[in-house]
Structure 1
């Protein structure tokens, strides 16, 4: 029988066979590591620019010149984000190609070892042949049977060689196509807005070019599982996810606060860039909605940047963006101080009418709460306070008279506080959850359901009802449930109706807190007993039950 290769078998005249045999993935892995270092350096440069340049200047510089300068600084930060994301994309491409090529080389090596076992020769172009046949063998029945077996084995082996070469070529072609998209034209063709939007589109297309499925990310149902998943990743995998899929990482309860902040700041920059590069038409929003969302995100970004300096004397970052969802009325979770390292942590849940546009005002409140708690806790104690707008707060309409919005956000609040318990590893902070107005209804609904909020103390300020009949229903010793309402706060007119009994009444079973402020929004007035008492509870101390009038 002839020793020629089967019809249709692939040829590697270009030297692909020899190249694949010699392939060493080390060079591609090294190149990928270099791109990853560049991505990390761009992120670090962005953070340093925000903390040491823009942040301090925003607190001091005003006027037309300042506005122009800040626009230029914003452009610089966008370009650094582009470098961060595209460099991470390049690293992903190179790592993917290296792994696929190395697998193809391994498959080829295995095929060649089998060729040696079967005594089948393989030419320099990858063609599998047959062993030489002596003239006498053509008339030997046993030799003819062996020859037929060799022909079948050669066909199998040729398929394996061809498949390995085809896989290597496909990996190379996909990688070349994906890398071709990362040409940095968003940097060489400067424009005010749209660079991050185009960059995000490029990275999505890179994944499509490589044929990559969406990465596995937990479903955010179990903070402990999310925390374990994050710790199981290599630093490179973590960096890639932060740069290429920040929207998936930033939403996960149980991850470190600083990790979520890095992810969500990039999400914020991308969403704001997309809004500022477009217009209401085609966005599905009215002009008023588009403008409100843009102004809300810009105000949040400026506030985060404006407090992006080195922080307080304990070196903590002043603000951490733990969650962001601009859709609808918008949701945002922001911490002042790091909950993962704090000795005392508080979560403030706002009430009726709170939207993304009101978040800057909520940040003022948590800053005052943190200062008050620091004074109560004493030197050396770290305090973090979180503004948790993680639910759809009701408008001033019929929805405020039902527990529907509170019940809808209850599981999210429980998951968030559960995430605080696992994100810090073995560190356990004294945790206080404070609700204001309808926020107390949300806190009560969350605390009464499931396994509760895992809080050490719960505070209801200006509560219209906590969606519970008694403090003992909140999965907490009633001695650590506190309630207080100003005498002239009109919210008292709504208590005992549809949202539950007044938590300041003895029958509810909570302990009352001394309140010396007026109205529905004065509970954080600087120097007030109302603020000081909340600070004492956050610090694990007993508040004053009454205060002078």
Structure 2
């Protein structure tokens, strides 16, 4: 079994150099082409000597075929191993860089060594730091494990090819029916290495470690041949998820059209089949909506957007679309919409709202912050309930019961937590990550943040509550919903409650989803009223449940969207707080 001390010494250089030398030998051999097969006994020559000459010519031809296959197999295998080792080297470098950044060491046996709490950590932060270090130790162990798993897979595949070569069983075809070129092609196919399958448990940290241990060529092959293994895998780089999901769009459309035709052919005119057809059509409409969001008017892919998830399981389509580069942005925000949200109905509006937030936050970061770039993600990776709010009607296939029992939020929170963890795990650095949750999406976000997801700031707006545990009897201070249940740094949770918003002001009084974020001790309350920004910009008030990201036709922003941008940009000092 391979150990960490061995793998850290792996280098692809000599193997890559050997490919060139072997290729020269192979070309020299194939230059003979099939001349030997054209050798025939001269006319008129017969007898024992002629027969012996013919048999010898055929024997040499068989040897050349096997030799060509062996050389081709070795060339392909050595080339593939050299390429695969570049992924192992990258995985080792990422693991060791992370260990160094957070004050860990990786021993020669692959064990993660924690020298203990760094000196000078304030007492009120020690619990948070200890929790973060424990999570990082687990991530480092996952990375070491995936690098070793990849190394074992490479070693095993290479040994299988070498065994076939050494045993003389590289060519399993009739030599009388082949040529040197065909023999070489057969050997080349035999010499190809498999690509390591993703970890079975799908943990974001392990997914990130697996992806980092693959070579670039292996990654591209997976995206081309098996995009379904890449697109929705939390922890994989955003560029790869985007390419894989874009590749899945036409495949899923073809699959749904075939399913629609099949159900239509079986339809007896009854209600069950009719509802099934409506559900399939809604998913087809969702694919059209995603296509429109991801492409420019001229039909080309919008280079500023990334399709980070595409999920057609369940009753409704689910997706996540980013504006900006999630792989490189210094500041990343993940927005979770709430009630009445659906991919085929209003996701495009949310994506456009987040595009405005991205641009505004980037401007604030440039003028008042660290100057870092910003990416925003509209995450609709769950099926929120639909209720009549602000004149909106009920959506087909959803029920008010979803709003009352909270199951949609609990299911969505698990997926959202993994998505946020995946953003952090997929990057070698530590981006400033902000969670944004509106309405039922704030509940989903609050539940997700009860585990360590790497989120640095959170903004709730139009929130009915942020806990899946009822606060009964109703207590404005909150019996079970203190901010300590959220795993975000102290002082980094914010709330916006607009006037005239029944979800933010009335629903929390029921206590179903904990105490009201508007009165929760420690929650930073941001203004939604008319105001003037620190740089003199006039801001308008937000009213009701649906104006938190409002921007007027003339470009005037609401105070609430300005405040959201300030938190996303990492510039809370310019946010406008609610008057006490």
If the TM-score is normalised by the length of the shorter chain, which range does it land in?
A: 0.5 to 0.7
What does the per-residue CA deviation read over 1:37-65, in whole Å, with 9 as the maximum and x for residues that have no partner?
Answer: xxxxxxxxxxxxxxxxxxxxxxxxxxxxx
CA distance in 2, matches of 1:310, 1:297: 15
The alpha carbon displacement at 1:214 in A equals 9.5
CA distance in 2, matches of 1:402, 1:213: 46
CA distance in 1, matches of 2:59, 2:407: 71
Within the candidate set 423, 438, 441, 2:440 is matched to 438
What does the per-residue CA deviation read over 1:127-176, in whole Å, with 9 as the maximum and x for residues that have no partner?
Answer: xxxxxxxxxxxxxxxxxxxxxxxxxxxxxxxxxxxxx3785679x99xx9
What aligned pairs does 1:77-88 form with structure 2 within 5 A after superposition? none
1:354 matched residue in structure 2: 341
Alignment of 1:496 onto 2:497: no
Q: Report the aligned-residue RMSD.
A: 3.8
2:545 matched residue in structure 1: 520
2:565 matched residue in structure 1: 535
1:251 matched residue in structure 2: 232
State the secondary structure of the residue aligned to 2:263.
Answer: coil
Instruction: Label 1:213 to 1:378 Cα distance change in 2 as closer, same or farther (>3 A).
Output: closer
1:480 matched residue in structure 2: 492
2:69 matched residue in structure 1: 23
What aligned pairs does 1:323-362 form with structure 2 within 5 A after superposition? 323-327=309-313, 328-357=315-344, 358-362=346-350
Within the candidate set 409, 414, 425, 2:412 is matched to 409
The alpha carbon displacement at 1:390 in A equals 1.8
2:223 matched residue in structure 1: 242
The alpha carbon displacement at 1:259 in A equals 0.9
What does the per-residue CA deviation read over 1:404-440, in whole Å, with 9 as the maximum and x for residues that have no partner?
Answer: 2222222322221111112221x22211101000111
What aligned pairs does 1:456-475 form with structure 2 within 5 A after superposition? 456-467=456-467, 469-475=481-487
Within the candidate set 344, 364, 370, 2:358 is matched to 370
2:424 matched residue in structure 1: 421
Which structure dedicates a bigger proportion of its chain to helix? 1
What does the per-residue CA deviation read over 1:340-396, in whole Å, with 9 as the maximum and x for residues that have no partner?
Answer: 211211110111232221321221221121122123212643110011112232233
Alignment of 1:301 onto 2:304: no
The alpha carbon displacement at 1:332 in A equals 0.5
1:395 matched residue in structure 2: 386
The alpha carbon displacement at 1:519 in A equals 1.6
The alpha carbon displacement at 1:241 in A equals 0.7
What aligned pairs does 1:281-300 form with structure 2 within 5 A after superposition? 281-282=262-263, 286-300=276-290
CA distance in 2, matches of 1:288, 1:520: 29
Instruction: Label 1:281 to 1:433 Cα distance change in 2 as closer, same or farther (>3 A).
Output: same
More off after superposition, 351-360 vs 333-342:
351-360
Unaligned runs of at least 5 residues, structure 1: 1-11, 34-96, 109-163, 180-206, 312-316
Unaligned runs of at least 5 residues, structure 2: 1-57, 80-156, 265-272, 388-399, 468-479, 529-540, 552-556
The alpha carbon displacement at 1:294 in A equals 0.9
Does the 8 Å contact 2:306/2:325 carry over to 1? yes
Alignment of 1:320 onto 2:311: no
The alpha carbon displacement at 1:296 in A equals 1.1
The alpha carbon displacement at 1:105 in A equals 2.7
What aligned pairs does 1:38-117 form with structure 2 within 5 A after superposition? 103-108=163-168
CA distance in 1, matches of 2:350, 2:308: 14
Does the 8 Å contact 2:549/2:558 carry over to 1? yes
Instruction: Label 1:287 to 1:544 Cα distance change in 2 as closer, same or farther (>3 A).
Output: same
CA distance in 1, matches of 2:331, 2:325: 10
CA distance in 2, matches of 1:376, 1:247: 38
Alignment of 1:270 onto 2:241: no
Does the 8 Å contact 1:104/1:167 carry over to 2? no
Does the 8 Å contact 1:410/1:445 carry over to 2? yes
Alignment of 1:219 onto 2:219: no
Does the 8 Å contact 2:495/2:524 carry over to 1? yes
CA distance in 1, matches of 2:201, 2:405: 27
More off after superposition, 331-340 vs 489-498:
489-498
What does the per-residue CA deviation read over 1:168-220, in whole Å, with 9 as the maximum and x for residues that have no partner?
Answer: 679x99xx9xx9xxxxxxxxxxxxxxxxxxxxxxxxxxx9xx9x999611236
The alpha carbon displacement at 1:481 in A equals 0.7
Does the 8 Å contact 1:440/1:463 carry over to 2? yes
Instruction: Label 1:31 to 1:273 Cα distance change in 2 as closer, same or farther (>3 A).
Output: farther
The alpha carbon displacement at 1:303 in A equals 1.7
2:40 matched residue in structure 1: none
More off after superposition, 482-491 vs 212-221:
212-221
State the secondary structure of the residue aligned to 2:449.
Answer: helix
CA distance in 2, matches of 1:99, 1:242: 27
CA distance in 2, matches of 1:302, 1:31: 43
Does the 8 Å contact 2:73/2:161 carry over to 1? no
CA distance in 1, matches of 2:305, 2:75: 36
1:49 matched residue in structure 2: none
The alpha carbon displacement at 1:99 in A equals 9.9
The alpha carbon displacement at 1:322 in A equals 0.7
CA distance in 2, matches of 1:100, 1:17: 21
The alpha carbon displacement at 1:456 in A equals 1.3
Instruction: Label 1:220 to 1:331 Cα distance change in 2 as closer, same or farther (>3 A).
Output: farther
2:154 matched residue in structure 1: none
What does the per-residue CA deviation read over 1:51-102, in whole Å, with 9 as the maximum and x for residues that have no partner?
Answer: xxxxxxxxxxxxxxxxxxxxxxxxxxxxxxxxxxxxxxxxxxxxxx999876
CA distance in 2, matches of 1:393, 1:13: 72
Instruction: Label 1:424 to 1:166 Cα distance change in 2 as closer, same or farther (>3 A).
Output: closer
